[in-house]
Amino acid sequence: MSVLSFPRLYFKGAIQWDPCTFNNNDWQQMPTYDATNAALNWPYLNGQGITQDNFPQTFRPWAITLQEDTQDSPAGARIPTEWNMFGTHGVSFVQHGAGQITQIIGGTLGVGKSVTNGDPIIGAKVALSGDNGRGPGRLVDTNPSSFWSSQVFWGKFAFAAAGIGFSGPLNFRMHSRWLNLNRIYSTDRALTAPAASVACCLQTCIPTSDVNWENSKASQLVQALRDGASAPGAKGIMIRFTAYVNLYFVNGIFNSISTMPRNFTELADVLAAAWAAFNKNGDTSKFFSNPCYSHVVGAVGVWNDGELASVPGGRYLVPLEAIAPVQPAAPTAAPSGPLGHAQAAAAASSPNTTVLGPVAAQVDEQAGIVSLDLSSTMPENGTPGQWPSDLTKTDFGALTLGVQTATGFTPVATIDYEQYARASYEATAGIVDITLPDPSVLKSGPLAIRAQGVVALAEQPFAAQTDSRGIYLNQEGAASFNVSVFNMGAPAPGASVLVAQYDQGLNLVPSNLTHNIHFTNGTLSTATSGGITTNVTTVVADDKGVATVSIAADAPGFPVLAFFPYSGTAPALPAALNPGPPWSESICFAYYTTVRVLPFDDGVPARFIALWNATHDSTQAWNFVYTQILYLYDMLFSVMLEFVNLGSQSAVEKNIDKIWPMISKAAAAESTFAMPITRDLSAGKRLTLQLWIYLVANKYNVPELTAESIPAGWAPK
């Protein structure tokens, strides 16, 4: 099953994340964006002297001004636009210079059958690109203020050496899974800011019929993968990778960008210079991206029947207890870090405890093997006084895999430090294969992993997962999605799933307050936790272990729908899905989907139509479209000025033929060229913008405009 079966190809390198950070609201002291309504946060901005009358002149200068932030931790000088004002939301694997090449480094055909040299696919570059292989993929958060809703839209995955390789198109977007907020082990808070220690796993699959194989017989590894993907019970190929130890302010190191700020003070200076050039003569040549980079290890294997496309499968272990390393880092001096604040030296005391990340396990009884995916499990050392981490794995000593039964813990196998240390981790993407004389013992109870006599990781026997991790609903919209239920890694027909709604702060939504969605199928009821009574539904898995959940929109917002699978008595709900502890209730390891209920803008087209029919004034029509729709993207996504000035009526009018396909409903669904890339354009505002484009294309010669004025299949020429 999956990349935990054979054959496997391994790759390593780095990945670039280039989001525009202006709508993130990471800084509590500077909440610029009203995400619920897809608008600037006018109540907050008015307090900064920025109003709906003067924002074209006041907003950008304020956004790049260095300001002291006392509310966030660690405190320090920051700018409201955050670290990447000109971000494109691009996602791509790094292919830069000689030291940052993302490539296949080897593979395995079975236990003891590693292939690390001699195969021509080794050294093949790994590429993630956009629609039809053009441009990069795109990183978009369903909720821009969250860390748990990231998704990657992409168009093509390719693994290619000279005349050898394989590739395929998008079938399933990727979502951040196995979130680990503690991936860097350090006593130094500065080493993990702003989000250096956040790691996640991403997975996607490509059906066999869509995979393009090039000269596969020339490579033993590629041909084995092709044969496996074509075997009975196989559906295609699976690509899984983990991004970890994130680097910020590294222009000129992982890329060729000549503007190289190393902290927020320097960033404010170069942004001021860029805007001075633009304000003088419209020069955008000083605009620059300032991406984040993550280290990456990954594996490619066979995608089989019964496996989800974007969710790592298998028996799932999550943190239970925090543990301490056996070899703590020594204290050092405290130089300045890359974010411009001093780094504290570690105290020479007993080491801090930390939780490990999740594990997926697969047992192959016939082959006598248990395979563990530790790609998201073991942290790297954050050496105090040094930036970044040196990628050395923190030493927790030997780990013991076993089974937790009513009578206690039964050890089954030992995993020595060398098996999860950096060299082994990078060579096999964190996958550890263990040969067992009797793997059937692993069926006798939930799996567990102990370290230093403590159960650090414990199996959740029931799991409920969905490929529909990012759902978009418009006003009066509805959707249905599937949830696959597993018991100890196998489909669980007849199992029940309790589904509850949490708000964007990860708290249960009380029944007597406004909901973002309501459930429209299953057994509807209420449940109470922490004094909060909430509406829930219970759905039952079919004979394949798949349940269906149906929802409808109630109010704009960002609900999280959490799944609680069970057999017998329904489990108690947690009152909140906080990052933890208890870790079994943490959003990092929970089963859930994220929903974006878009602003309720169905009345906007009627207002625009009434304005046009009453005035037939092209200037008033433009002002309506700009102040109601385009102003937001003009202000927040400044990189658009390199392509079209969204604040200029003439510039937008000249580009309506290019804008039209990018704002379509179809483009918003999966395209990497969708506008806005953030996918927060409601159906009502989309129709309004389309009606305006129709007016422009007809030289404003439309005596009577209606919502149905645009003929089916029409497009501007």
pLDDT value at 342 more than 50: no
365 contact partners, CB below 8 Å, separation of at least 6: 439, 440
Structure tokens at 323: 């543990």
In this prediction, residue 386 carries a pLDDT of 67
Q: Is the peptide bond before 194 cis (omega within 30 degrees of 0)?
A: yes
pLDDT value at 350 more than 80: no
Average pLDDT over residues 325-334: 56
In this prediction, residue 194 carries a pLDDT of 62
Q: Poorest-confidence range of 229-233, 284-288, 334-338, 358-362? A: 334-338
pLDDT value at 567 more than 90: yes
Name the residue with higher pLDDT: 709 or 349. 709
Q: Poorest-confidence range of 29-38, 67-76, 139-148, 619-628? A: 67-76
Q: Are 244 and 294 in contact (CB under 8 A)?
A: yes
Q: Poorest-confidence range of 130-134, 174-178, 390-394, 649-653? A: 390-394
How many angstroms separate the CA atoms of 14 and 485, rounded? 33
Q: Percent of the chain at pLDDT above 90?
A: 85
In this prediction, residue 188 carries a pLDDT of 67
Average pLDDT over residues 347-356: 72
Q: Are 382 and 389 in contact (CB under 8 A)?
A: yes
How many angstroms separate the CA atoms of 30 and 49, rounded? 14
Average pLDDT over residues 317-321: 95
Q: Percent of the chain at pLDDT above 70?
A: 95
Q: What is the 3-state secondary structure (H, E, C) of 389-418?
A: CCCCECCCCCEEEEEEECCEEEEEEEECHH
- The values of phi and psi at residue 12, to 5°, are -150, 160
Residue 405 banded pLDDT, cuts 50, 70, 90: confident
In this prediction, residue 348 carries a pLDDT of 40
In this prediction, residue 389 carries a pLDDT of 72
pLDDT value at 339 more than 80: no
> Which residues are bridge partners to 108 per DSSP?
8, 114
Helices 604-615 + 683-697 axis angle, to 10: 30
pLDDT value at 568 more than 90: yes
pLDDT value at 678 more than 80: yes
Average pLDDT over residues 568-588: 92
- Residue 543, exposed/middle/buried by CB under 10 A (0-12, 13-18, 19+)? exposed
Structure tokens at 458: 């414990």
Residue 337 banded pLDDT, cuts 50, 70, 90: very low
Q: What is the pLDDT of residues 76-105, one digit of tens each?
A: 889 999 999 999 999 999 999 877 899 999
How many angstroms separate the CA atoms of 80 and 32, rounded? 7
pLDDT value at 305 more than 90: yes
Q: What is the pLDDT of residues 440-461, one digit of tens each?
A: 899 899 999 999 989 999 999 9
Q: Poorest-confidence range of 221-235, 385-399, 514-528, 609-623? A: 385-399
pLDDT value at 601 more than 80: yes
pLDDT value at 19 more than 90: yes
In this prediction, residue 25 carries a pLDDT of 80
Q: Poorest-confidence range of 16-20, 34-38, 178-182? A: 178-182
pLDDT value at 384 more than 60: yes
Residue 334 banded pLDDT, cuts 50, 70, 90: very low
Residue 195 banded pLDDT, cuts 50, 70, 90: confident
- 3-state secondary structure at position 568: coil
In this prediction, residue 406 carries a pLDDT of 83
Q: Are 474 and 682 in contact (CB under 8 A)?
A: yes
